[in-house]
Amino acid sequence: MRNQQVYLDGKLIDVSEINPAKHIFIGNFRSPNPPESMGGDIYCPCGQILRVVGMELEHWQRGHWDIPIYKTY
């Protein structure tokens, strides 16, 4: 399951708290670097277990770790 949390007015909250009548999507937050495996498996939000070196970069570039950002009208 992907992106269960989002930023709203600078605070990390559960996505269920977003109300389209009060909140507007302004973009995504992406960390400056992909996660590092440190010799172990990486669990991607897309559901895959990344066991091959370099796969985390591909998933990071596709936005799998992005966090949506919203602001209140």
Domain boundaries, given as residue ranges, for the chain: 5-72
- Is pLDDT of 5 > 60? yes
Residue 1's pLDDT band (cuts 50, 70, 90): very low
Mean pLDDT of 6-21: 95
Q: Using CB atoms within 10 A of its CB, is residue 22 exposed (0-12), middle (13-18) or buried (19+)?
A: exposed
**Using one digit for the tens of pLDDT, what is the confidence trace for 22-49?**
999 999 999 999 888 777 889 998 999 9
- Is pLDDT of 12 > 70? yes
Tokens 């977003």 appear where? 18
Q: First and final CA of the chain: distance in angstroms? A: 28
Amino acid, single-letter form, for residue 54: G
Q: Cα-atom radius of gyration of the chain, to the nearest Å?
A: 14
